[in-house]
Structure 1
C-alpha cells in the first residue's frame, strides 16, 4: 500500500525553502526522471531503525515526495527505488538490509557496533543531508565533524539496540529500573496490541507516527549540533588562545556566556597537544547571560565525568552569599555547590579571583 510522505516538521521548516529552490532549478526532464520515487520497507511489526531510515530519506530533495510501500512481497519491493530493512541484501545503492547472516558493516573501523537500517541510511546519505543544511560542500570539514558527531551521539545507540547489543556487561546489575523509557521502546509501543487487530492501512498509519517520532527527534538533534554546538567550537578555540591572559599557565578559560564547551575542549586539547596535567585548563568562567553574575565551573576529568580535574576548595563548598565572601576572602560570593564542581560570584573580577585562589589551594 502506498502512503503519502511524512511532513518534515522541524527540519523541514528549516530546509523547505532551500529544497524548493534546488528542485525548481532543475530541468523539467531531470525532475520527471527523479520524482516521484518509491521507498520500500517491510510491513508487520516495525522498529525504530526503519522508522528513522524512512524519515532521513524524506529529508533529501530526491525523496521528499516519495511514496512508501510496506510489504514483504519481493516483486513489489523491487519496483521501489530504494529498499530498507528488508530483502536480505545490502549493496549501498538500492538495497539497505542488515538481517542477512553475512552482514558485518559498521560505521567505520573505529566502531564495533553493526549497523541497522538507520545506520546504513545515515552512513550513505547523511553527508549530503548535512551539506545541504550547512550550505557547504560535502568536502567541508564541518560536514565531516557533524557526520561523525551525530552518529556517535545518536545513531549508534539505535544500531546497537536493533542488533541486541548491551551498553553494559551482562553481569552488571542496573542501579534502578528505567521503565524502558527509550526511543525504541516508544516506537515499539506504537505497534498494534496483540489483541487489537488492525488492517494494513491502520498499521501503516501507526508506522507513520513512529517515523515522525524518530525523525523529529533526529532533526532536533541534528539542528542543535548545527546551530548551537558547532558554532561554539570557534569560541572555545578563541578562549584557548587567550587563556594565558588570565593565568600564566593557561588554566582558566573565559566565555562571554554559557556555551557547550566540554566536547570541544577535550577534542581541541588532543589536536593541540595540550597533554601536560599542569598545563590543562582547570576552570571555566562564563556570564550567566540575562542574570547578573558569573559562574566558575571546574573542568571534568572526561567529557561525561562528574569528577573534576580540580574541585573548588573544600572550605567553600555548600557555603553561600556573605558567608562565602567571608570564608573565601573574595567579595560578591554567591554560592559554591556542595560537591565543589561549580560556584558563582556577582562579578567577573570576583569569579576570576575565585579561580586564581582555587588554583593554589
Structure 2
C-alpha cells in the first residue's frame, strides 16, 4: 500500500483553514495568504467548501459561514447585522480587513521582527490605510468617489481602468482558458482545478502584501525619524521653513504631510514645505535633486512648481536662466530639477520659493 509523502504531510499539519468554494475574490485570497504568514498557520491546509458540516471541522474560517466571532475564529462579513470597521475608518470590513484587524500586528511582527510599540502601531495603521482598506471597499461595493458626485461635477474617466487593479487580476484566476477543457471532467477534478486557481491567486495577492509590508518596514518607517530631524532643522535653510534638506533619497512625503499637521507652526514660518532637496546617491560629489512637494493626495499637482522660465531647460542654458552655476536640468512639468552641487541646488530652491 502506498504511503503519504512525508513532505506533503508536513505541509498540512497546521490548523485547518476554511473558505468558500466557487467564484473567489481578492479579499479571501488575501485573508488566507495573511494567515499563512503566522507561525500558527504556516503549515495549514485549506479547504474550500460551502458545506456547513465540513466548515465546522475547520479551526479558522474566512468569508463564509455568516459568523464573525474571534473566539470561534470565524471571520465572515456577509451577515446583515455586520457593521465592523477598522479603527478610525468608515469602510465596512471584508474578510481581509477582519483578518488584518485581528492578526495584523502579529503578522507584521512575524515578518519584520518589529517589537510591540509605536513603530509597529504606525506601520499597522499605514498598511491598512494604503493597502487593506481597498480590498474591503472593493468587496463591499464602495467606490473611491461617490458616483453621483462625479456626475454632478461633470467628471468622466479619461480611460478604462477596471482591469488594472489587484481585484481584477484575482478575478482572472477564476476562469480556465477554455470551457471546452472542462468537458468530461468529474466534479472532483473541476473542484481541484478551481482550488489550484485560488491557490495561485492567493499566492499572488500574498506576494503583493509582503512587498508592501517589507518596503514600508525597511524604507518608509525608518525614513520617518530622518524626515522628522530634517523638518526640525529646516529653518537653517530658509527662515520661513519652505525648504527641507534630506541626507539621502527616501520615502518622505507621507511623513512630511503628517509632521505639518501635527507640529506647531511658529509665527513667521510657512505652514507648508515647498521643496525637498536630496542627493542622487550617497557617493561623495553626488549631484543633488530639488523636488517640488505635491499637494497632499493631489497626484501630479504641486504646491509650487519650479519657475516657468526654467522648465525644460538644461545645462549651460539653465545656468543662464537661473543665474546659478551647476544646473543640470529642470523637468518640463516643473516638479523636479538637478544641480551638480548642494550649494547650487539650495540656491535654486531659495530663488524658486521667492519667484
User: TM bucket by the smaller chain?
Assistant: 0.7 to 0.9
Structural mapping, 1:79-158, within 5 Å: 79-93=57-71, 94-108=73-87, 110-138=88-116, 140-158=117-135
Distance 1:282 1:262, change over 3 A: same
Assess if the C-alpha contact under 8 Å between 2:20 and 2:50 holds in 1. yes
Distance 1:278 1:290, change over 3 A: closer
Aligned equivalents of 1:134, 1:327: Cα separation in 2: 48
Deviation at 1:324, TM superposition (A): 0.6
User: In the aligned structure 2, how far is the partner of 1:265 from the partner of 1:64?
Assistant: 37
Could you say which residue in structure 2 is the equivalent of 1:180? 163
2:332 maps to which residue?
338
Task: Tell me the CA shift for residue 135 of structure 1.
Answer: 2.8
Which residue of the partner structure matches residue 209 of structure 2? Answer: 218
Q: Residue in 2 aligned with 1:13?
A: none
Would the aligned equivalents of 2:279 and 2:289 in 1 still touch at CA under 8 Å? Answer: yes
How much has 1:260 moved relative to structure 2? Answer: 0.5
Whether contact under 8 Å (2:248, 2:282) holds in the other structure is no
1:11-32 deviation per Cα after TM superposition (whole angstroms, max 9, x unaligned): xxxxxxxxxxxxxxxxxxxxxx
Alignment of 1:132-281 (within 5 A): 132-138=110-116, 140-170=117-147, 171=151, 172-178=155-161, 180-193=163-176, 195=179, 196-197=181-182, 199-274=190-265, 278-281=270-273
Name the counterpart of 1:17: none
For the residues of structure 2 that align with 1:168 and 1:278, how far apart are their CA atoms? 31
User: How far 1:155 sits from its partner (Å)?
Assistant: 0.7
Q: Alignment partner for residue 289 of structure 1, among 281, 293, 296?
A: 281
- In the alignment, the residues of structure 1 paired with residue 252 and residue 9 of structure 2 have an alpha-carbon distance, to the nearest angstrom, of 38
Provide the C-alpha distance between the structure 1 equivalents of 2:114 and 2:198, rounded to a whole number of angstroms.
Answer: 33
1:294 Cα shift? 0.7
1:37 to 3, 11, 15: 15
Matched position secondary structure for 2:276: strand
1:61 matched to 2:39? The reply is yes
Structure 2, unmatched stretches of 5+, are: 1-7, 183-188
TM-score by length of 1: 0.86
- How far apart are residue 168 of structure 1 and its match? 2.4
Q: In 2, are the aligned partners of 1:283 and 1:297 still within 8 Å (CA)?
A: yes
Counterpart of 2:240 in 1: which secondary structure? coil
How many residue pairs are counted as aligned between the two chains?
330
Aligned residue in 1 for 2:30:
52
Deviations 1:233-292 (A, max 9, x none): 111011112212212222211112211100000111122123877253221111011684
Most deviating of 253-262 and 296-305: 296-305
